[in-house]
Amino acid sequence: MRLIIAEKPSLARAIADALPGASKRGDGAIHVGDTIVTWCLGHLLEQAAPDTYDPAYKQWRLDHLPIVPARWKLVPRSNARGQLKVLRGLLKQADEVVHAGDPDREGQLLVQEVIEYLGWKGPVSRLLINDLNRPAVRHALTRLEDNATYHSLYQAAETRSRADWLYGINLSRAWTLTGRQAGHDGVFSVGRVQTPVLGLVVRRDQAIARFTPRPFHVLWADFKVAQGVVRGWWQPGDVHPLDDQGRLLDPRPARELAARLPGAEGTLSQLESRDKRQVAPLPYSLSALQVDAARRYKLSAKTVLDTCQSLYERHRLITYPRSDCRYLPDAHWQAARETLGRACAQDPTLAGWLAGADFSLRSKAWSDKRVGAHHALAPTGATADLSRLSTTEANVFRLIARNVLAQFYPALQTREIKAEFSVLDEHFRAQGQEVLVPGWKPLFTTRDEAPLLPPLQEGESAKVIDQAVEDRETRPPEPFTDASLIKAMMNIARYVDDPAVKRTLRDTDGLGTEATRAGILETLLDRRYLVRQGSALRATRIGQALIDALPDAATRPERTAIWEQRLRAIAEGDDQAAPFMTNLVADLHTLLAGADAQRMRQALGDADGFEPAPAGRGRGKASRRRSSSPAGGRGTEKSGSGKRTARSRRPRRTQDA
């Protein structure tokens, strides 16, 4: 008997539907001929609690730290015992096993760890499925590989799981106990990903709070030329007081010049034009989709992820969503006319875009060399009736389909124009854009992103017909939103100060993964380290205090970004797990030495973040108020039975994904 173990029930059903023969549903499995398809429910196993290794660890004490297991143990999750029993029984009957976890690091881990935990010693094949449509699943079933090929991927995922346990357990205990000494009645959760993300928000909030607006002044003039009117902006020279960005600090020169401008005659002294060609944006990775959906539809990262999972598992309209790749296989280009035709035909918006597509075009998006375990999000080719989807599902599907359709549109071609006017021995600049070929752009926006200028001729006369001085102020940085924070997590090198570390980080490195970024934001919200204010994400008082109390290195992105590099190297067979873990334990000793009650007490007293709304009243109506007590903030960690406090109950075990 062949046993196929899928990552989740929806994948198991898709596999069973693709197998020849009638299927029969059993207890935790589907029987199809001599094949049985069963499933996990996500992770059925988890890292054992510290007291599993030593009962003394039930009590949280600083002198126990760091806790480092000599031999790692996994235990069943509370809701997994029934399905594990089913799997154990099926493995006893099996002649061969097929691993059908999702095609990524965690998918490799969660099925393989169950196979090993239950003691299977026989052969294991690997089934990789990116698309739940029946033809795609049938094709994948003909291309089984040896699971041993993915052993390094499993090692990387296992190393990540153990490293996160070590980091989260030890630092959370240390700073919870330090917080207790400082008077804070609650749990502080520290993680190698969530804490640097919180640090980004805290530092942005602090920059906003410290910001002092500075006035500056601009002078514009409208010039009448032969075929229209052009607005130019005065370019004050170095003889005037300017800031480091060339902004005028003293309004008097601008006002004196403005008084002389009415009716003044000048010339268009310099005219430059440059033709530009811009190809369509690539198809989406999950994070890129989350950024665009947050900007366009104000959707949270978690909402986008959940919507994509629904479009993938329930509706089978899109390919595997938890992808970090923005390229598609060569074979998808050959089938695109048929695939997109079925996917887009029943929606008026998509059908209009489909009608304008030229399927003879081939963009750089189609590249087998750039596709790894995943490819970019794309329609599967199933007929999409968007009227039967929720509004959010329809909007997200249109975005995914649009970015693939855009590959069959010509490049956007524009002419960028810069003009300089000379009048009264002063210079005014104007710039604008002329669209030569709209290409793919109408699929993305109907607005012009730069002003259109009338036809201009260098040397022509220009007369001032209007002018004004505008008094402005510098603006503080914008608070983070879902879109900007996800983008920051994707491009974390921008937030790294160390030039040497910055150089080592590739554009694809980041905080978290496609599968975890949305969950990280929700975790910080659930633990009340962040609150939403409209679309903005702001740090709470307790969130700010935690960042201020931790060693700076634990709140910065460098460590976790380099972790991801090392884990990727392990996954690719270019590094080993043992040296990584040895370095981590040494690092923990250094970090734990920084746990200091006085620093925590000062951090709690100095914190001036945003208080979350009371539980049950939502997270969107936070008010900013200072607590008079260091323990006055909502820093406790919620569980199914309510709050856990450090004094009344044993603090809950905390780990970070």
pLDDT in tens, 247-258: 999 999 999 999
Cα separation, 331 vs 421, whole angstroms? 54
Nearest Cα residue to 196 out of 414, 444, 492, 427: 492
Angle in degrees, CA 443, 445, 447, rounded to 5: 145
Active site residue 312: no
**CB burial of residue 83 (10 Å; 0-12, 13-18, 19+):** buried
Q: Which amino acid is at 581?
A: M
d(CA 491, CA 627): 35
CATH architecture of 286-408: Orthogonal Bundle (1.10)
DSSP helix/strand/coil, 225:
strand
CB 43 within 8 A of CB 110: yes
What does the DSSP assignment read for 22-53?
-EEE-SSEEEETTEEEEE--S-SEEEPPHHHH
What's the first-to-final CA gap in the chain, in angstroms?
Answer: 36
Question: For the stretch 159-192, what's the b/e string if a residue is b when 16 or more beta carbons lie within 10 angstroms of its beta carbon?
Answer: bbbbbbbbbbbbbbbbbbbbbbebebbbbbbbbb
Residue 95 in tokens: 């002649």
Residue in 57, 150, 312, 320 annotated catalytic: 320
Measured CA distances, 127 to 13, 142, 143, 150, 249 (Å): 14, 9, 7, 11, 65
Query: Is the Cβ–Cβ distance between 471 and 489 less than 8 Å?
Result: no
Q: Which of 298, 332, 301 is nearest to 318 (CA)?
A: 332
CB 199 within 8 A of CB 551: no
Domain 215-279+412-473 class?
mainly beta
Per-residue pLDDT, 507 = 53
**What does the DSSP assignment read for 256-299?**
HHHHH-TT-EEEEEEEEEEEEEEPPPPPPPHHHHHHHHHHHH--
CATH topology of domain 2-44+80-143: Rossmann fold (3.40.50)
Q: pLDDT tens digit string along 528-574?
A: 999 999 999 999 999 999 999 999 999 998 888 788 888 889 999 99
Q: Which single residue is written with the structure tokens 């040497």?
A: 500
> What one-character-per-residue DSSP string does 392-460 give?
HHHHHHHHHHHHHHGGGSPPEEEEEEEEEEEETTEEEEEEEEEEEE-TTGGGT-SS-SSPPPPP--TT-
Q: Check: CATH 1.10.460.10 for 157-210+478-644?
A: yes
Give the tokens for residue 184.
């804070």
Which segments of the chain have a pLDDT < 70?
Answer: 446-450, 504-509, 612-657
Residues 6+ apart with CB under 8 A from 631: 183, 184, 185, 186, 604
pLDDT of residue 637: 29
Residue ranges per structural domain of the chain: 2-44+80-143, 157-210+478-644, 215-279+412-473, 286-408
Rounded Cα distance between 230 and 453, Å, is: 7
Residue 606 has a pLDDT of 86
Write down how long the chain is: 657
- Domains 157-210+478-644 and 286-408 fall in the same CATH topology: no
What's the Cα-to-Cα distance from 552 to each of 55, 470, 487, 595, rounded to whole Å? 33, 42, 22, 12
- d(Cα 528, Cα 543) in Å, to the nearest integer? 7
